[in-house]
Structure 1
Amino acid sequence: MADHRAIGAANTKAGQSLAEKCAHYGKGYLRLADPGQNARSTMDSTVTFLISMGLCLHWESTAEMDALFRPALWADPSPMVRKGADVTLRCQGRLGSDRFQLWKDGELREERNDSWSRADFVLRKVDDLRDARSYKCRSGQGPLWSELSDPLPLVVTGPFPKPTLWAKADLVMAPGTSSTLWCSRPRLSSLKEVTFTLWKAGPREPLQQKPSADLWTDFSLPSVTPRDTGSYSCTYKDRTTSGKESVPSDALELVVPGSLPKPSLSALPGQVVEPGKHVTLQCRQPPRSALWRATFTLLKVGSPQPLQSQSPAGTSADFPLLSVRAQDAGNYTCVYYRKMAPYQVSECSEVLEFRVTDELPKPSLSASPGQEVVSGTNVTLLCWGPSWIPRFVLYKEGVEEILHSMEVREDRARFSLTHVTPEHSGNYTCSYQLGTNESLWKQPSDALELLVRAVALAFLGVPAYLIILTDSERTTHIQKLPKTDQDNYS
């Protein structure tokens, strides 16, 4: 009751302050509008008075609305805290809140300023006697304070060793499918029957509870939806009067992709690296997404559970892969989601194919319609290699710069040389283009020699050529005529 009376007194005082300002401004303008003034002056004063009173009424109505807003309070990583560990109590106010208070069992514990509409209160080395209490928070803006949040009970776990939580099926699930989570505890002679509890990060109440005399129990999650995405843990406690509870299990991340726009996933410095290198996989929300303070999760195709999760302040997350080895190669995706209601989850990103190798097979290069052509012919140089290579580049001997860079289509890159002349003659090679790892992508194919001859005319005393145009293939075929046929065409 004391905390509610304090809020009421603060907001009443703020309301009185605004009312006093309105009365002061009103009296001032009324004094200006005395009978001795002319009509124009009286009218101006009256209009000014009405405007000032309207602004005051707006201030008062806004103050009343702000005072009714109730902030949200939650514990990170969980309201179940191991004795001696740290926990952060996060108080989320409305936009514009700049002051926050944390209350413990009805008494003010801490007050702080924060300009981001949220404040973090850190409890270090929690103790069951000192910190296992009921917490509330409130936010303030200017002279006003909000109502207190819903209570958050903090549970400090006892001396029992932590259980194990696992799932037999994949933890990346399609909506509508079902899953079972299993919680097991170590065998303790002092425990005969316990109550297993399943927790999810965010909600203040247990999801499920089951009494059992066995060393394990199962928790069913039927027909999952994106709202089931999140971090799960389990505990067990003695069913006797002591009621001591265990340390929480390690968290298990469950992902059910939803309908938010899919993120993008990229690899830095590139998708192909040598063993022992450090790589960063960056998951980024699309520009049109407005989800703030999202949780990002990295997934690997074929892995039964998510690899890493982060909750950064921005709209992207960096997942480090340190000293990569061959087993780190594979197909990766990522999602982002909101941990608090309303629960929202994105679609999976496009698959990123990541390779770890210190040697790539040599690419191949060929020419169509052939390596010897006459001036004016259109030539296509075809470069190909492994199916997962995204891009190739073309070089010509004697030219330092890249001639062309081309994406792979139908497993090949096609470099077109139109209306070639003898100047196009020379040795060509192609290489992979895989990012910044030059030691890998500058591995060239064998050289291909292209020879472009000028068109010869029989009446000039040089060998004659028969030019055959094939419209359906849009290709020019050049055939040298025998001596006897040259006489016929001269």
Structure 2
Amino acid sequence: MSLPVAFLLLCGLFLSPVAEAATYFETRPDLWADAKSLLEPWANLTLTCRAPLPTVDFHLFKDGVLWKQVNLDAPTTEHQFLLGAVTGDTRGLYRCRYNMGSTWTQLSNLVEVTGAAETLPPPQLSSKPVSWIARGLNTVLLCRGGLRGVTFLLRRKGDDQFLELAEAPNDVEVTFPVHQAGNYTCSYQTHATGTPSEPSATVIIEEPAVLPPPKLGDRGESDMAMVLPLGGRASIRCVAPLDGMEFQLRHGNKELLVPRWSTYPDRTVFEMKELAPKDSGLYTCRYRPLGEHMPWSADSEPVELLVIDETLPAPELSAEPATLRPAPGALVQLRCRAPRTGLRIALVREDAERRQVLGLQSPADAEARFELHDVSRMDSSNYSCVYVDTAAPFAGSAPSARLELRVDGPLPRPQLRPLWSGAVSPGHDAVLRCESHVPYFTLELLRAGEVVDTKVHPSTDLELTYVGPQHAGNYTCRYRTRWPMSFVSELSDPVELQVAG
């Protein structure tokens, strides 16, 4: 488990720079199996739990339940649990953990013990740093098993001639450089004449014609536009899917040479100061690997900037229906009427700490119509609109008079559904999906009023890792909002988890 000792400050598009800093220390233990003889791996087996920090307390779990615990006389970073000859009582799914003094760590990786030479459990295959290949990148496939000292085999679907082998005499994983696109699996064998294990899940490696685009900001569609004052400043963050890239900010088809800074190897922040009306328009960013003549990626989704000098008359904003206290779930249309046609019109939500562009239109007539669907308490706010001329000198209007919209009543309840059917087998994971129509900051999974898992937006999946009989019961979920108001929703309808056996 990576424990952050400083919060990661999530920021996408913002009006003033925020320092991005976080420090992580890996505390999760590592678990693997050692066989006395790889010719008969299940005849005499030992499970080794390795901790990054010295400890005197180790726990070994089997099929989701604490199975063995030890308290040692002196601190150590490694402990061996002897299984001996694998029997029906010792077959299962294992994890371990250790005590850090005041708390137990997260559970280790999973090790499956089957006890049958002809059914070696499958390894895990993953790609690093990305699942595609391109010039200037060093993409590898990482194959990890549970037994130390085996030989790994990499195969590509549809190519009977392709077979890569790699030995791991003192490890449980190997890396395979990958230079061709395809669907890959890996397996392993304990000795040269042994039957290979079941294959891993397939990993697809692609070779795109152009490097995938970066992200310009990460707060969602509502942050893909900004209304900024004349003479103001903006900081725009560009995030690539890879570390160590070269970045470029573009205004239309023109590269902008502006100051930049970064505290993370996969991103940079472009600083724009003393904004003028000519700075209005669409902005994109792109990246490329370092080196001579490396290709640029595809452009990011655009961010639109509207620089407002307030030299043009204010538009008029009205609501349909006219009531400013609509019922929850209603459709509200906000209409912004400008003095003439040929304008770019923005609807702006104004709260205590933030101004957010909710929509941009270039209507054929002089009126833009913005719709708020299924309104809830979270839509309670002040709304205004502005416009800019799309022709030079790109003048902008004063803001319209504000409309204060208020929606009463509780927040809509989320919906929780299981991503499994029937009873869950002990030792496996149970994933539940919590869905909400209201933008949220975090989701929480609860059992008997206690939070058992939390996920940050945009994730919708909540997880019970390594399920045992103790996890059986009814679960609910809820969401929390942080901006523009701090709210906690009501609980979803319950979902029952049954554990097999």
Normalised-by-shorter TM-score class: 0.3 to 0.5
Q: TM-score, normalised by structure 1?
A: 0.35
Q: Which has the higher helix share?
A: 1
Q: TM-score, normalised by structure 2?
A: 0.35
Q: Which has the higher contact order (CA 8 A, sep 6+)?
A: 2
Q: Which has the higher strand share?
A: 2
